[in-house]
Amino acid sequence: MAGIAHAAVGLAAKPLVPEVNVGWLILGTFVLDILWVAFWCVGLETSPANPAAHPPWWDHSLLMAVVWSVLFGLLAYWLGRRSRHRTSIGVVFGLMVFSHWVLDWITHPMTALSLSDKGIPVAFGNSPLVGLGLYRSLTVVWVTEIGGLLAGLAVYIVWRVRSKHPQPAAEPV
């Protein structure tokens, strides 16, 4: 869970699928965290404070992140079936879901926030825990979270301004 930086990916992806509400794209980047909460409620996932905690297999393993990204991409494709751009909608939404895993992989183990964090799992059982460990320092956490969000917002705002004031078409010569 890298935090608000996930939302930046959703904001930055808006120009790729202009007809999709940016709220859906941002929601897509949090699907794995939402699934974690749902699985925790039904006892499939364990909270890190639990002494018998296991890595978040069902939602944050690489294996399951691929599965969820494909499933949610297909769902978005189906929901967008009336659009000519349904393929882009499905692909981009699936990528939003998977972007969560990529950002988590870059930031975990985030020992600046949790000393017991050893990375995110590749699959189930004794599969390796992986991650580049960007969030080992609190300063890096703040710079990345706020900087990332501002960068995503910048892409979104520039796109909005440009789409509201389209450049005049070039005169034919």
Q: Which residues contact Zn ion by CB under 5 A? A: 1, 33, 104
Residue 129: DSSP 8-state? E
Cis peptide preceding 109, ω within 30 of 0: yes
Query: Could you identify the residue written with the tokens 């969030």?
Result: 135
Nearer to Zn ion by C-beta: 80 or 121? 121
Nearer to Zn ion by C-beta: 1 or 70? 1
Nearer to Zn ion by C-beta: 33 or 45? 33
Report in angstroms how near the CB of residue 66 gets to Zn ion at its nearest: 15
Closest CA to 155 of 3, 14, 7: 14
How long, in residues, is the chain? 173
Closest CA to 119 of 105, 136, 139: 105
Report in angstroms how near the CB of residue 103 gets to Zn ion at its nearest: 8
Report in angstroms how near the CB of residue 132 gets to Zn ion at its nearest: 15
Residue, CB closest to Zn ion:
1
Report in angstroms how near the CB of residue 33 gets to Zn ion at its nearest: 5
Closest CA to 44 of 52, 33, 56, 32: 56
Nearer to Zn ion by C-beta: 33 or 117? 33
